[in-house]
Structure 1
Amino acid sequence: MRRDRTLHFLVNVGSAGYHPAAWLDPALTPDAFIRLDHYQAVAAVAERGLLDGLLFPDIPVQQPGIARAPAATLDPVLVTSALAVSTERVGLIPTASSSLNLPYNLARRILSLDHVSGGRSGWNVVTTFEPNAARNFGVEYLPARDERYRRAGEFVELTKRLWDSWEEGAVIGDQESARFADPDKVHAVRHRGEFYAVDGPLNVTRSPQGRPVLVQAGASAQGRAFAAAHAEVVYATQFGLDAARDFARDVRGTAVRLGRDPRAIRILPGLVPVVGSTTAEAQARFDALQGRLHPDSAPVRTLARWLGYPDAVLDLDAPLPDQLRVLPADRIGPEGFFASLSRYAADTGHTVRALLSEFLGGHRVLVGTPEQVADHIESWWRAGVVDGFTIIPAVLPSHLEDFVDHVVPVLQARGLFRCAYETETLRGHLGLREPVNSFART
């Protein structure tokens, strides 16, 4: 383990929280998910906890289930832009699809956020698997997974060139001589590829951190290959340490074969911590959330739907049936989650009831005291398979406050996490080097 390693934490900021009953928390208003002050409160807690960044998930489609929960979201680029004004250090990472955007526009929006925030932006790259989302953009049929990722690879490489189109030092800003920029350091990309044709240059100057940070959340075979080629942060789905070790070995090994430094990738799987002063208190808090669910949105139905078998009848006190551990041919959804959960179910032999106590919407639930949560984080980190976690609070902002106020101090006391921000940018927080401009003369 390198001596300079330290823990890193992103926060998944989704609506009122990750639990489907989060919006029923008495401390929240039913419309919290569309109130800027709600997100400002979340960002303030994350910044107080010295966390690296806020990640805003997004699928641009009205999700089902609005009869029982506010299944809607604000545009994450606009929300993060608003939060840039009320925060000073925490990173801001909106999600945007490479399948439903154009490279020039998205490159400009993300780089604009980077300037507005003083070098604190990232981009969570997704390829979109939801057909209904595609139809909202006039796309009748989404390409197969291989083509979506091939398109995403070209999109990302083109975006990096657009972000590089203004070299360092291109802006002169000499008011006396009325000389603003050096045209020789501003470059057209002149891209002609399989999917995109863009001239450039971008009409936004170089990022304060070199480039915004590239985040990726896919865990399928194609997603892993994409992460190895392009991602600087990987938001993964992992339930067991062995699977996490295999995932890290695969991604970092492929990165080496592609000529990348494997240490330039931060693997931060999702974790849903539910914290209490005792184990029993923490479990009671989680049980209270589960108890607020309406029968129409029972966790067992959610589990079956995520697996791709929405009509399956599950015995709560038996292991997951073998036939449900085979990926259905017509399943629409992230393959990485299916692979992680089915492997974990097979490895542990847990009953469905036990799985439901550890699973929430695709990520592992960890119920315990601050010390127990810190022990889990430290053990995975010391194993060298993760660089930290993406914290997914079940209820926002209260469960994030629990993590910041009770778990973070334990990690700080153990010398595993910073006691103050040491840099100004998201790239700096994550310990990532500023990339060399691809147009710069050697």
Structure 2
Amino acid sequence: MNLIPGPLQTADGRHPFIDIADFVRSAQLAERAKLDAVFFADSQGLGPQGRGFAYLDPLTVLPALARETEHVGLVATASTTYTEPYALARAILSIDHISHGRAGWNIITTMDPAVAANFNSPHPPPREQRYRRAAEFAEVVDKLWDSWRDDVTETWDLARLDRAPIDHHGEFFSVAGPLQLPRSRQGRPVVFQAGGSEQGIETAARFADAVFSVGVTEDASRRYRERLAKETRTWRGDTAQVLVLPGIFFTIGSTEDEVRRLLHEAEHALDDSDVLHRFATRFDLDPATLDLDGPVPPEVSVSDSSRSIGFAQGGVDLAASDPALTLRRFIVSGGGGHRRVFGTPGSITDDLIGWVERGAADGYTVFVESLPQFVEHIVPLLWERGVHRHEYSGTTLRENFAQHTG
């Protein structure tokens, strides 16, 4: 599950995105539904007109959630471009020990100019450089997490423990090590990756356990999963697997007539909405010039200037799947972003199970705005169909993730 911020300010002047109680309620709801993890997207800047991520730092929120939950995993997004591997390795492993083995890290490289401007630069580094840094960063983090060889956590006689410097010297980092903390009880925290470019796929194949992917159409998601599996075998051998977890929003109606009404309402709520502005920003379009009742514009394409290759490719795939799509239907269905499904509980359940059975996904990342409906209407049907756990089988995030790989 991905926790996405709400409005920056409510009508009465409150800022709900800084209310830790809201985060706790969502995490506890995810745990009651026996979901794998709560997953925090993040950015360290606001875009034009304040659009962007605005909420508490995930690395500060997760320890609080660790004390209010027992089983659900806790995954923080942290950029390899705007932090250092020692600091990040220590922070994630600290959360891991606080939560007794439930922490994870989502690797991003951050292409947003608004973030670069907060870190002493007018623009982000080129994509190739960001991903070279990310690969070395992840390599250093792995070394640090493994720098204590013994699983000794009950003594502070540091002189007796088997640990060693990592003495890393590379293009971007020189890190002596070892880390100040013993190894995780789950071996190492679970690593996620979010990126659909060639470099992003390679990074996932080398270092990740799962990918938070853009999967707007089933065929495109299956092709992505097959491509990632091939790249993973190249880097880590035939037995390695990286789970593909497409992001998904739900709008649920009790009948087909209600579903059609909800879809119509969503399409006609686009004018000057945040959804429309996010779409326009991703493809460098002026929202004022868009004909929402016309076809998808040719600017929806993948190019070297695409800020997010994954989102751009998802838009191209969706447009190609149905040339008759109006721009309204395209945007509401997830064009330029993550997939949004309109349906009854039964049709959505069939859709989710079908994607997994046909090799297009290993699971899903449900956005927090869809979580209450998902838990109330979809999870009981997944239980009935025997495709979702009734209880957690392990005590760590990695143990619970192992259910997906058999």
The alpha carbon displacement at 1:303 in A equals 2.2
Residue 87 of structure 1 aligns to a residue whose secondary structure is coil
- The answer to whether residue 310 in structure 2 is matched with residue 310 in structure 1 is no
Q: Which residue of 1 aligns with 2:211?
A: 234
Q: RMSD between aligned alpha carbons?
A: 2.6
- The answer to whether residue 102 in structure 2 is matched with residue 125 in structure 1 is no
The alpha carbon displacement at 1:71 in A equals 5.2
Equivalent in 25, 28, 32 of residue 44 of structure 1: 28
Equivalent in 321, 327, 330 of residue 355 of structure 1: 330
The alpha carbon displacement at 1:400 in A equals 1.0
Query: How many pairs align?
Result: 403
Q: Which residue of 2 aligns with 1:96?
A: 78
The alpha carbon displacement at 1:147 in A equals 1.3
In 2 relative to 1, CA 299–101 (structure 1 residues): closer, same or farther, beyond 3 Å?
Answer: closer
What is the percent sequence identity of the aligned residues?
36
TM-score by length of 2: 0.92
CA–CA separation in structure 2 for the residues paired with 1:95 and 1:205: 22
The alpha carbon displacement at 1:298 in A equals 5.8
Q: Is this contact kept in 1: 2:42–2:53, CA < 8 A?
A: no
Equivalent in 309, 318, 323 of residue 344 of structure 1: 318
Residue 257 of structure 2 aligns to a residue whose secondary structure is helix
The alpha carbon displacement at 1:284 in A equals 4.5
In 2 relative to 1, CA 240–385 (structure 1 residues): closer, same or farther, beyond 3 Å?
Answer: same
Residue 213 of structure 2 aligns to a residue whose secondary structure is coil
CA–CA separation in structure 2 for the residues paired with 1:51 and 1:23: 29
CA–CA separation in structure 2 for the residues paired with 1:95 and 1:329: 24
TM-score by length of 1: 0.84
After superposition, what is the alpha-carbon deviation per residue over 1:350-380, rounded to whole angstroms, capped at 9, x for unaligned? 2212212312761010011111111110110
Residue 388 of structure 1 aligns to a residue whose secondary structure is coil
Residue 86 of structure 1 aligns to a residue whose secondary structure is coil
Letter in structure 2 aligned against 1:79: V
Equivalent in 370, 373, 382 of residue 402 of structure 1: 373
Equivalent in 347, 350, 361 of residue 375 of structure 1: 350
- The answer to whether residue 305 in structure 2 is matched with residue 326 in structure 1 is no
Letter in structure 1 aligned against 2:174: A
Residue 319 of structure 2 aligns to a residue whose secondary structure is helix
- The answer to whether residue 382 in structure 2 is matched with residue 411 in structure 1 is yes
Q: Is this contact kept in 2: 1:188–1:200, CA < 8 A?
A: yes
Q: Which residue of 2 aligns with 1:436?
A: none
Q: Which residue of 1 aligns with 2:129?
A: 147
Q: Is this contact kept in 2: 1:170–1:186, CA < 8 A?
A: no
Equivalent in 144, 147, 161 of residue 165 of structure 1: 147
The alpha carbon displacement at 1:98 in A equals 0.3
Where structure 1 has 5 or more consecutive residues not aligned to the other structure, the ranges are 1-10, 174-178, 434-442
Q: Which residue of 2 aligns with 1:437?
A: none
Structure showing greater relative contact order (alpha-carbon pairs closer than 8 Å, 6 or more residues apart): 1
CA–CA separation in structure 1 for the residues paired with 2:204 and 2:395: 25
CA–CA separation in structure 2 for the residues paired with 1:107 and 1:23: 33
Q: Is this contact kept in 1: 2:8–2:16, CA < 8 A?
A: no
CA–CA separation in structure 1 for the residues paired with 2:234 and 2:105: 24
Residue 115 of structure 1 aligns to a residue whose secondary structure is helix
CA–CA separation in structure 2 for the residues paired with 1:380 and 1:219: 19
Equivalent in 248, 257, 269 of residue 271 of structure 1: 248
Residue 299 of structure 2 aligns to a residue whose secondary structure is helix
Q: Is this contact kept in 2: 1:308–1:328, CA < 8 A?
A: no
Equivalent in 38, 44, 48 of residue 60 of structure 1: 44
The alpha carbon displacement at 1:199 in A equals 0.5
Letter in structure 2 aligned against 1:377: L
Letter in structure 2 aligned against 1:224: I
Q: Is this contact kept in 2: 1:63–1:72, CA < 8 A?
A: no
The alpha carbon displacement at 1:415 in A equals 1.0
CA–CA separation in structure 2 for the residues paired with 1:309 and 1:328: 14
In 2 relative to 1, CA 147–329 (structure 1 residues): closer, same or farther, beyond 3 Å?
Answer: closer
